[in-house]
Amino acid sequence: MQRIVIVGMLLGMFVLLGTCASSAAVIRYAHWNALPSDPYNYVKAFEEKNPDIKVEFIQIPEAEYSQKLRSMAMTGTAPDVLCLWEADLADFVRAGWVTSLDAYIKQSKELSLDDFIPAVTQLMELQGSLYGFPWCFATEIAYYNKDLFDKAGVAYPEIDWTFEDFEDAAEKLTLQSEGKVTQWGCDAIGFQGLWYSLAGTFGDKIVDEQGRFSMGSGTREFLQRWFDLTNVSKVVASPQVTTSGVVSADLFMAGKAAMAFNGSWMASVYKDITDFTWDIMLLPQSKRSYSTLHTGFFAINARSEVKDAVWKFIEFCMSDEGQKLINTAYSNPSARLSILKKGYYKVEGPKGPRNWDAIERTAEFAEWGYVLLPPGLTFDIVKDFNAAILGQLSIDDVLEGAVAKAVDILGEEKVAQE
């Protein structure tokens, strides 16, 4: 009899344990990056702090990511946690596929909107509500070869340097031998975002307060200046564009260009440079300071049945602990000002960079800009920008074509006309 009682008690315990295990909430989370290994696996860290919540991670290849999530959303099979690219977030909001986070942020003891870079609240105002938090961010900055500056006796770029300062430095840093350039003042534009950011410094809004495509006289002035630097004074390298639209050479890394404009993520690539000392700075300003932000936004699937558990996950990822893991693993800064200052993202090589203030200062004024627009549109316009610099299209034709393409894709109401 006693054995029967004991066995019964044990069976009851197993049933109870099984019930507890099965009651754990399961949230599905998708990302284009693989999870980092220990000790930076933020999903594992979350599960250890929240044993009642299990995260089913789904990695979707980057090339398929946007379209796959859209297809899943349309069929009602999207993950509970979405890390959405900028243009996708805007579309998901319009389609009602994501939930407003306003109520969650008001109740949060961990997060406050006052602690985020200005672009977060600007996007909230544009969309009428808060729908996502940047899991981290990247931006665009200037890179310069300090050894070449020293050799030419040219002062390093400063925080308030202008486009005229850039032009002057590029001219002094360009070297020729027998009519051939042996050292460029600046490399060609390789990353498409720089076209929009530099046009933005000349006054164009790129995306205005109503979310409209807005490019005109500022872009025209920038393209003319860049054309002259490339083809007249010949201090900027000519674009070497492949059939895919990507510039195929990196003259800065090769030590053959004294300056380059590129994404902040290139700092983790250039850190391995050992041939010369280098550093970073804000993009030069013309009429204003401008740079583009790049990220993915943690958002909640509107159809999720475990929204509270999803919020716990997002809140953890945006916490100091979660951001430290993410920033360190991917070498990207936090969109939370208090965490950004802690510099978890910094990766320095033996020769640079040192001026991390350039990234923090850029975050004060940078905008989402062109990344809120359909990628197909912005990529096609960049092809025309390159064609203009190569003399294959006139600048006026490029601008007229850009507006026409924007109207065709976005509709007239979404295009600001000068």
Q: Which CATH superfamily is domain 2-138+294-340 in?
A: Periplasmic binding protein-like II (3.40.190.10)
**Distance of alpha carbon 387 from alpha carbon 385, whole angstroms:** 5
Q: Given this chain, do its domains 2-138+294-340 and 140-291+374-414 carry the same CATH topology?
A: yes
Domain borders along the chain are 2-138+294-340, 140-291+374-414
Which of the 8 DSSP states describes residue 178? Answer: T
Contact 358, 281 (CB under 8 A): yes
**Distance of alpha carbon 102 from alpha carbon 110, whole angstroms:** 14
Residues 6+ apart with CB under 8 A from 342: 324, 334
Averaged in consecutive runs of 10 residues, what is the pLDDT profile of the chain (418 residues)?
43 44 83 97 98 98 97 97 96 97 96 97 95 98 98 98 98 95 96 97 97 97 98 94 61 97 97 97 98 98 98 98 98 98 97 98 98 96 96 97 97 92
Give the class (CATH, top level) of 140-291+374-414: alpha beta
**Distance of alpha carbon 111 from alpha carbon 316, whole angstroms:** 10
pLDDT tens digits, residue range 97-147? 999 999 999 999 999 999 999 999 999 999 999 999 999 999 999 999 999
Q: Kindly report the CA angle at 377 between 240 and 239, in degrees rounded to 5?
A: 10
The neighbour count for residue 269, using CB atoms within 10 Å, is: 15
Contact 263, 123 (CB under 8 A): no
Cβ burial, residue 392 (10 Å; 0-12/13-18/19+): exposed
Distance of CA 39 to CAs 136, 206, 224, 268, 342, Å? 18, 40, 50, 19, 19
pLDDT of 418: 72
Q: What is the mean pLDDT of the chain?
A: 93
pLDDT of 230: 97
pLDDT tens digits, residue range 302-314? 999 999 999 999 9
Q: E strands of 273-412, at which residues?
A: 278-281, 296-300
Residues 6+ apart with CB under 8 A from 172: 152, 154, 185
pLDDT of 6: 43
Tokens for 24, please give them.
Answer: 């754990």
Q: Strands 81-85 and 25-31, how do they pair?
A: parallel
Tokens for 330, please give them.
Answer: 């991917």
* Predicted TM-score of the model (pTM): 0.92
